[in-house]
Structure formats: C-alpha cells, structure tokens
A and B are shown apart, each in its own frame.
Chain A
Amino acid sequence: MYKIAVIGDRDSVLGFKALGVSTHFAYDAERANTLIKRMAREKFAVIFITEELAEMCIETIDRYKARTIPAIIPIPSNQGSTGIGMKLLNANVEKAVGINILHNDDEGGS
C-alpha cells in the first residue's frame, strides 16, 4: 500500500489532515527538500506540495519527474495560486513539442 502526503505551511495543510492524508509542515527549501527525499524512499506515491514551496525546491522535484513514483504535484496554498503549476505544465509541453501549443487557447480562453 502506498501513501499520500501533503507538504506546505501549517494553515494550508491542516485541512488535509482531517481527510486522513499524511501532512507535513515546511516553511523553507531545506526542510521541504529533506521531506521530499525522505518520502521518495518511504512508499509515498503522491506528494502534494504548495506552489510556494515547489518554486523553492524545483531541482528536487525535477529529479523525480521521470520516475514512476513518487508523483510530486504542486497545489495552490491558501494564498491562492501563483501560477507555478501551470508554468510547469507549459514547460512540459515545450519540452515535448518544442513550442508551446497550449499558449494560443490560453489567450483565447481567458
């Protein structure tokens, strides 16, 4: 059985605790990095991380990108979305296709 974790600041993450997800508090890049590395070893299949923290430890996240497990997914914190999740998604498209093909319907849609 695999586990799910949420990493973020206390206020953003506390609510997930009620759902039975393992929650961890982190405020700086160092703590988040060690948490991610530890979880990757310990049967965590999905790690949700607040966008603020995701931005800080982008290298560590990149390292696990090509592995099947864990999936590290940025989520908005209680301060709202910073757009980093979308930015990573677009970076993905650019990496695969060479150009950003989603960009156009992005402008058309909004």
Chain B
Amino acid sequence: MAILNVNPTRMELSNLKKRYKTATRGHKLLKDKRDEMMRQFVAFVKENKKLRENVEKELTKAMKEFLMARAGLSQESLESAVLMPGRQVSLKVSKQNVMSVDVPVFDLQISEGNIYPYGLLETTAELDESVLMLSNAFTNMMALAQKEKACNMLADEIEKTRRRVNALEYVMIPDLEDTIKFIKMKLDENDRASRTRLMKVKDMMAQRQ
C-alpha cells in the first residue's frame, strides 16, 4: 500500500492519527447513509415502476382514443377545438428533504372550468372521451413525475455516496493506517539507534577511564 508523503515526526503522527479518526467516523456515517438511502430507494423505485406501468397503459389507451377522434374530424376543427383550453393548470412546487436530497413535491392546481373547451356542435363524442381519459391519466402522470424525479435524484446521490464510502474504505483508511505504522516504526527505529549510540559512547568512556 502506498504511504503518504510525510515527514516521520511525532507532530505528523498525531496529525495523522486525528485524520484517521475522522476518516473512520466519516466512513461509518456515510455507510449508514448509503444503506438507508438504498432502502428508501428500493421502496421508491418499486412504486415508480408500478406508476409507470399504469401511466403507460392509460396513456396508450387515451392516445388511441384521441387518434380515433382525430380521424373523425378535420385538422382545422380539431385544432380550433383544443386551441383555447377551458381551464388552466399550474404547479406549486415545494421541496421535501429525503436523506439530504431535495426532492420536489408537485402540487397540481387546476382552475375551475369545463374540461371540454369546445362546442358540442362541431366535435365528436370520441374527442370528449379521449379528453376525459387524458385528463384522468394526467393526475397519475404528475404522481409519476414526482416519483421518477425523486428516484433520479436518489440514484445520483447514492452513486456519489457509494463512491465516497469506497474511496474512504479502500484508499484513505488503508493509506492512513500504513503511514501511521510507518511513522511509528521509523520513530522506534530512531529511538533504538540513539539508545545504542548512547550505550556505545558510555562503553567508550568507561574504557578510557
């Protein structure tokens, strides 16, 4: 393992020991964070999958219906029918903190009004049906958007956290351990060297007298 490029002094040793303590503590915390995120993510993603399946089914049906409606109408009358929506949708977005990730929460606000923005005279019943289906699917779509965004962001954060955990576990901590060991040995070696030198000097002085 690689040894950090430091001077083998007592000062460095105590610094490194401090860093080692911080690293192990950080590693433990990040690991806990990762595990909890993973647990939540799995729950989220399962819901997400279910929602997506539902939405895809509903939308495909609604789209087919709309296609039928379009076939029964001329391009112009269809366009003019949907040109002025009968109600306005807007979103209120708040943030929810899930494991230190700011996940958006969408609050759909639909203004009062008829969902059929057109006259009954120049359009067909299929159009009514398809618009109704789309509007029903839309609530689910918003739920899906919220869940999917949360999953995206969590996945991103989990990846980051996992990298940090691995970097600490397989690089930082072993490096620090090795360096601490290296400095300890070096200091001990210096200690022994000076001790033998002293003994030698003492011997020489004893012989001279």
Where the two chains meet, the residues of A that have a C-beta atom closer than 8 Å to any C-beta of B are 1-4, 11-12, 14-21, 45-46, 48, 65-66, 68-69, 71, 73, 75-78, 80-81, 85-86, 89, 92-93, 95-97, 101-102
Q: List 25 A-B contacts (CB under 8 A).
A: A1-B92, A11-B66, A16-B138, A18-B115, A18-B131, A19-B85, A19-B135, A20-B86, A20-B87, A20-B88, A21-B85, A45-B91, A48-B145, A65-B153, A68-B103, A73-B149, A75-B59, A75-B141, A76-B63, A86-B49, A89-B48, A92-B152, A93-B155, A95-B156, A97-B38
Chain A residues with Cβ below 8 Å from B115 are 18-19
Point out the residues of chain B lying under 8 angstroms from A101, CB to CB.
Answer: 42
Most buried by B among A4, A16, A19, A48: A19
Q: Give the interface of B toward A (CB within 8 A).
A: 38, 41-42, 45-46, 48-49, 52, 55-56, 59-60, 62-64, 66-67, 70, 78-79, 81-83, 85-93, 95, 102-104, 106, 109-111, 115-118, 130-131, 134-135, 138, 141-142, 144-146, 148-149, 151-156, 158-159
Assembled-state Cα–Cα distance A73/B145 (Å): 6
Complex Cα gap A4–B49 (Å): 22
Quick check: A96 and B59 within 8 Å, CB to CB?
no
Q: How far is the CB of B99 from chain A (nearest CB, A)?
A: 12
- Least CB distance from A8 to B in Å reads 10
B134 touches A2 (CB 8 A): no
Distance between Cα atoms of A35 and B166 in the complex (Å): 39
Q: Do residues A89 and B151 form an inter-chain contact, with CB atoms below 8 A?
A: yes
Contact of B82 among A15, A45, A93 (CB under 8 A): A15
Q: Is the CB of B62 within 8 A of A46?
A: no
Per the bound structure, the CA–CA distance linking A15 and B129 in Å amounts to: 11
